[in-house]
A and B are shown apart, each in its own frame.
Chain A
């Protein structure tokens, strides 16, 4: 009461009287973040908008985690960043995507992802920038078996055994591996995010690539053995760490934006198509029809899609709109996931997640349930007044490539890491305000 009286007296003089709230004291609990190392693929690297670029790198969950750690303790986190003014690059030498206007084959102009520049920034992949060891060892497109592959940065090893994104940051292109570069740092804390790249390679290729590595087997052969080897190497000096599981990637906008029955036909088109296809036992109706896809197993090499099958965002839309792809001509296999391919993806994911959860518990890692985050996004998630979802562009969580998180999505994921680390290691690391990270920029 006495304090209240003093307070009132103070208020009478000042006009402010703003109340204070005191947050519980932040601390790191049982972890030592002096040297944090991140092992992963696109997510850790911040690859997004279909390119490696500075906005994505600065806002990857690994970078966000490192900056939250550094609020509490000096944290080494050296990243292989590219220049902030760079348009970024992907393996097809394209720049990043931005939202812009695009005119389609019918002459209609609409808001659409377009390349920021005519060509990507070739200098990014042109030189090795290693100087003193990188802590963010997230390398876009890296399957789990490549983590411990010596010479993964050596162009002479050829496609599949060489990754240009690693080449630019390897301590020794010929002899080092991502894992050897990681252990050379002697990490005191690490995060591991592996397996999604393996599944995505198969899924984004329309099931054309070899199936993802089997779930069980020795290091180099099975997912669980390989992962255990990686985690054991990172934890060898008693480092703690966190590991994330693999979401249902088929919820990503890359697989859900184009409906399987997106072939909309008027009466004239129906007649034309029926004249061609009726002899093959395929018929069309006015309105929505499933697309026609290539299928070598069918007698005539084509069939209609069935519900549950997916058209990928990579499909050339102008070919569909104006040049008969999906109707007169089947959509090529690489743009489609069939039921059996979807089953391969799901069974790989279940096997991997089971391995991840076993290894997390064996090594006492913080388990980050990225799968439930994506599932919540798929149902629609509200974060501080921001409605986020897996919807392409407007869902607000995915970048313009439809398969990688944007900074808002990365910040949500970073908070999930922080919450799990706090719970597992008795820490109280502050979460971040997701809304303060850049989202998609509209013209």
Chain B
């Protein structure tokens, strides 16, 4: 029975997220390739650079949503049959509030609530990788109370404390068949919390140039009282006891160097360079409270490497009311060859984005954006030996409303 060790492969990130930075945290920024640490123009700066929000001069509340259509297709090497995902639409949302105690105050208080992960990948029934994964759902909400301070007219500093709460639900089939021909099934569900911080420095040496430096700390999501549920043939129930498991998932640190350039009142350019500390994701371990000869604790090598992403965006104010945006991002995958999984069919990728802003009146701004990316990668997973090509296509339109007062 020891050969029936369940390979539990749980990746903390949604299908299209390049690491921690899903970067669907602000419609204006999304339109600009998700660059924004060096060009803070609204309350989404609470996420992108809390140092930059010190330079905004109004109270602001905004909400936004980015319905995400992410789908993957798999072609096993040597075969002609495709397996597809039937993933539901993801709904990452954002809510930001930014307040100053008095007009032109150097101190700003802010609160950001956002969902850096929040999608589900679900493979079609009976697909060839059913013993690796059938479904992974991940939800996480980040709460970030933030303080920013304009030290001088050229220097802004900001810091936010992050508390996150999330849940994971991972399912796969097991190679055990009952009398009715059904495969056994494992479901691991857990809730976790984590703490971290987000700090930013915003330097504005001239009115045309901004240099930005931000750092988001690593957050360890601890799943303490996860529930493992095994549906197995009755003769094997004592070998696969449903019960408690613990695990943890690192959400890696991100350091960003950003540049913002505003040659004139109409045009703005933003460049972000991220280093993402994916090397923290070295091993994924599951510790079951009750072990049997068939159900042992598992440790799966992930061996992620630190990765880099570059994001470039441009914004042009066509009229007082209309703003157009365009962006491009390039991100290097942290997943090494041999470690690609159906949870995260990740690859080096180019993101294309466009966006538009509309100022309704003095109080209301509307923003919309669209992200598109497609990747394709072939790999043979060392652990499961699943061998083939994944193709992933993501299409994420988004919309937000801001109210200034």
Chain A partners chain B: yes
Q: B349 interface residue, CB < 8 Å from A? A: no
Q: Please judge, given known A-B contacts A385-B7, A433-B76, whether A441 and B179 are in contact too, CB under 8 Å.
A: yes
Query: B3 near A395 (CB under 8 angstroms)?
Result: yes
Given A12-B397, A384-B386, A385-B132, A391 and B3 contact (CB-CB distance below 8 Å) = yes
Contact with A along B2-22 (1 / 0, CB 8 A): 011101000000000000000
Docked-complex contact A396 and B175, CB < 8 angstroms? yes
Encode contact with B along A416-439: 1 for CB under 8 Å, 0 otherwise: 001100000000001111011011
- Cβ-based interface call for A296 (8 A): no
Q: Are B352 and A21 in contact (CB-based, < 8 A)? A: no
A26 at interface (Cβ–Cβ under 8 A)? yes
Interface of chain A residues 333 through 389 with chain B (CB within 8 A): 380, 382-389
Asked whether any CB of chain A lies closer than 8 Å to the CB of B82, the reply is yes
Minimum CB distance partner of A384 in chain B: B386
Chain B interface extent, by class: 35 or more
Q: How far is the CB of A268 from chain B (nearest CB, A)?
A: 29
Complex contacts, A111 vs chain B, CB 8 Å: 235
A179 to B337, CA, bound (A): 49
CB pair A387 B3 closer than 8 Å = yes
CB proximity of A55 to chain B, nearest CB, Å: 12
Inter-subunit contact A17/B71 (CB<8 Å): yes
Find the B residue at minimum CB distance from A422.
B78
Cβ–Cβ < 8 Å partners of B84 in chain A: 18
Measured in the bound complex, the distance between the Cα atoms of B391 and A20 in whole Å is 7
Contacts of A12 in B (CB 8 A): 370, 397
Q: Given the complex of chains A and B, what is the CA–CA distance between A15 and B132 in angstroms?
A: 27
B residues within 8 A CB of A383?
385
* A114 contacts chain B at the CB level, 8 A cutoff: no
Does B217 sit at the interface, judged by CB under 8 A? no
Chain B, Cβ-Cβ closest to A432: B79
User: Are A442's CB and B235's CB within 8 A?
Assistant: yes
Q: Does B383 sit within 8 A of A, measured CB to CB? A: yes
Which residues of chain B come closer than 8 Å to A101, judged between CB atoms?
235
Q: List residues of B (248-277) whose CB comes within 8 Å of A's CBs.
A: none
Q: List B contacts of A385 (CB < 8 A).
A: 7, 129-132, 172, 175, 384-386
Verify if B317 is at the interface (C-beta below 8 Å from A).
no
Asked if B80 and A23 sit within 8 Å, CB to CB, the answer is: yes
A21 with B73: CB separation less than 8 A: yes
A8 within 8 A of B: yes
A17 with B392, Cβ < 8 A, contacts A8-B370, A435-B130, A440-B177 known: no
Contact in complex: B73, A389 (CB < 8 Å): no
Of the candidates A16, A382, A443, the one whose C-beta lies within 8 Å of that of B235 is A443
A156 within 8 A of B: no
Bound CA span A224–B401, Å: 83
Q: Does B113 contact A (CB under 8 A)?
A: no
A387-B4, A430-B79 known; A15 vs B89 contact (CB < 8 Å): yes
Which residues of A, 1-55, contact B by the 8 Å Cβ criterion?
4, 7-8, 11-12, 15-21, 23, 26
Distance to closest chain A CB from B16 (angstroms): 12
Contact of B393 among A19, A433, A438 (CB under 8 A): A19
Q: B23 CB to closest chain A CB, in angstroms? A: 18
Q: Is the CB of B69 within 8 A of A11?
A: yes
B58-77 residues at the A interface, CB under 8 angstroms: 69, 71-76
A394 within 8 A of B: yes
CB pair A394–B126 under 8 Å, yes or no, is no
**B372 at the A interface (CB under 8 A):** yes
Give the distance in Å from the alpha carbon of A385 to the alpha carbon of B389 in the complex: 16
A21 to chain B, nearest CB (A): 4
Docked Cα-Cα span, A436 to B76, in Å, equals: 14
With a CB–CB cut-off of 8 A, which chain B residues contact A99? Answer: 235
CB of A180 to closest CB in B, whole Å? 36
Given A15-B89, A435-B131, A20-B384 contact (CB < 8 Å): no
Chain A interface, number of residues (Cβ within 8 angstroms): 45
Say yes or no: B82 contacts A20, CB within 8 Å: yes
A65 to chain B, nearest CB (A): 14
Given contacts A8-B370, A21-B75, A436-B126, contact A442 B233 (CB under 8 A): yes
**Residues in chain B near residue A438, CB distance under 8 A:** 177, 181
Given contacts A18-B84, A23-B80, A442-B236, contact A389 B3 (CB under 8 A): yes
Chain A contacts for B5, CB-based, 8 A: 387
Q: Is the CB of B177 within 8 A of A441?
A: yes
Q: Indicate if B206 sits at the interface (CB-CB under 8 A).
A: no
In the complex, residue of chain B having the shortest beta-carbon distance to the beta carbon of A101: B235
Least CB distance, B12 to chain A, in whole angstroms: 20
- B395 interfacial contact with A, CB 8 Å: yes
- Least CB distance, B77 to chain A, in whole angstroms: 8
Find chain B residues with CB under 8 A from A439 CB.
175-177
What 1/0 mask marks residues of chain B from 161 to 199 whose CB sits below 8 Å from any chain A CB? Answer: 000000000001001111101000000000000000000
Which residue on B lies nearest to A390, using beta carbons?
A: B3
Which residues on A sit within 8 Å (CB–CB) of B129? Answer: 384-385
Contacts of A394 in B (CB 8 A): 1, 3-4
Do B78 and A431 have beta carbons less than 8 Å apart?
yes
- A101 CA / B80 CA spacing, docked (Å): 41
When C-beta atoms are compared, the residue in chain A nearest to B86 turns out to be A18
CB proximity of B178 to chain A, nearest CB, Å: 6
Q: How far is the CB of B345 from chain A (nearest CB, A)?
A: 10
Q: Are A386 and B175 in contact (CB under 8 A)?
A: yes
Closest to B5 in A: A387
A366 to B334, CA, bound (A): 41
Kindly provide the distance from the CB of A226 to the nearest chain B CB, expressed in whole angstroms: 34
Q: Evaluate contact between B393 and A17: CB separation under 8 angstroms.
A: yes
Q: How far is the CB of A414 from chain B (nearest CB, A)?
A: 12
Smallest beta-carbon distance B338→chain A, Å: 13
Q: How far is the CA of A18 from the CA of B390 in the complex (A)?
A: 12
* Inter-chain contact B73/A433, CB cutoff 8 Å: no
Residues of B within 8 A of A433 (CB): 76, 79, 81, 128
Q: List 16 A-B contacts (CB under 8 A).
A: A8-B370, A15-B69, A15-B89, A16-B71, A18-B393, A19-B71, A19-B393, A23-B79, A23-B81, A384-B129, A384-B132, A389-B3, A394-B4, A441-B178, A443-B178, A443-B179
Other contacts beyond A430-B79, A433-B79: 20, CB < 8 A: A4-B352, A11-B69, A11-B372, A11-B395, A12-B397, A17-B395, A19-B374, A19-B391, A21-B391, A101-B235, A111-B235, A382-B383, A384-B131, A385-B130, A385-B172, A385-B386, A386-B175, A391-B3, A430-B80, A436-B126
Spell out B's residues near A (CB within 8 Å): 1, 3-5, 7, 69, 71-76, 78-82, 84-85, 89, 126, 128-132, 172, 175-179, 181, 232-236, 352, 370, 372, 374, 376, 383-386, 389, 391-393, 395, 397
